[in-house]
């Protein structure tokens, strides 16, 4: 399930967007841009839907702030607004939005565009194998083969590792990691997450010597990075 932020100050429009997008995962509402920027310092979102006319700062200004920040510079963003003039569409896309949808929102169109953006985060694969460089994930057995050796992981360790590799170079909040791996209603402590992270680092050899940086993002969560390269590409076979 994907966590979607909806930044919209109109309660009726917020209710409509939530009804349309709730099948993709929990929708978290924000009535202004500043509150959403503050939330990005403590949580991770898979996609944001942003209105143009917001109190305090416009949607265009909000998108620019997100793109220039450290928490979610690559998060998919859709601007949803009543402004349909060509110059407005151009301004929204130039600011950094990935897509631009005009109101009134047509449900099939919005769903198609959301699904397209979310597929970038975890490309769908009919084959259970996903490869990230020298790491091969076999989802049918919850097994990781690293450097030619099979690594024994628990189910939670496997799910956590796959989530991190799918989001290579992206900082992930503690809350997000715990919700995705253990479930939103699970009673899981930060110590449990830290223990799993330490085990993964050892079992999979996620160290600078092996070309990886895996550690905490102060006051936020964790990030896995491949040293000296861009974001890892998923290869399924």
How many whole angstroms separate alpha carbon 47 and alpha carbon 56?
Answer: 22
For residue 96, give the 3-state DSSP assignment. Answer: coil
pLDDT in tens, 33-75: 999 999 998 899 999 999 999 999 999 999 999 998 877 888 9
For the question of whether the overall pTM of this predicted structure is more than 0.75, the answer is no
For residue 63, give the 3-state DSSP assignment. Answer: helix
The CATH number that domain 4-119 falls under is: 3.40.50.2300
Q: List the strands of the sheet with 221-226, edge to edge.
A: 172-173, 221-226, 212-217
Q: Higher confidence at residue 139 or residue 59?
A: 59
Residues 33 and 56 sit within 8 Å (Cβ to Cβ): yes
The 8-class DSSP code of residue 106 comes to P
Name the class of domain 129-226: mainly alpha
Give the pLDDT band of residue 197 (cuts 50, 70, 90): very high
Residues 37 and 66 sit within 8 Å (Cβ to Cβ): yes
Which pLDDT score is estimated for 231? 42
Residues of the chain with CATH 1.10.10.10: 129-226
How many whole angstroms separate alpha carbon 134 and alpha carbon 205?
Answer: 11
Residues of the chain with CATH 3.40.50.2300: 4-119
């Amino acid at each position: 399930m994907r966590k979607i932020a909806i930044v919209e100050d109109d309660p009726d429009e917020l209710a409509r967007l939530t009804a349309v997008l709730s099948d993709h995962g929990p929708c978290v509402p924000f009535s202004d841009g500043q509150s959403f920027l503050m939330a990005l310092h403590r949580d991770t979102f898979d996609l944001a839907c942003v209105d143009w006319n917001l109190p305090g700062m416009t949607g265009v200004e909000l998108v620019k702030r997100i793109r220039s920040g450290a928490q979610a510079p690559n998060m998919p963003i859709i601007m949803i607004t009543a402004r349909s003039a060509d110059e407005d569409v151009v301004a929204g896309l130039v600011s950094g939005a990935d897509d631009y949808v005009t109101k009134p929102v047509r449900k099939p169109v919005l769903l198609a565009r959301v699904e397209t953006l979310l597929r970038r985060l975890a490309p769908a694969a009919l084959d259970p194998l996903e490869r990230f460089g020298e790491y091969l994930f076999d989802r049918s057995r919850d097994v990781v083969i690293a450097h030619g050796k099979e690594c024994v992981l628990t189910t939670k360790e496997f799910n956590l590792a796959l989530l991190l590799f799918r989001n290579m170079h992206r900082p992930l909040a503690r809350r997000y990691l715990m919700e995705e791996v253990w479930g939103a209603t699970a009673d899981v402590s930060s110590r449990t997450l830290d223990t799993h992270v330490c085990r993964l680092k050892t079992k999979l050899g996620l160290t600078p010597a092996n070309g990886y940086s895996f550690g905490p993002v102060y006051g936020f969560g964790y990030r896995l990075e491949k040293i000296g390269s861009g974001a890892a590409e998923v290869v399924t076979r």
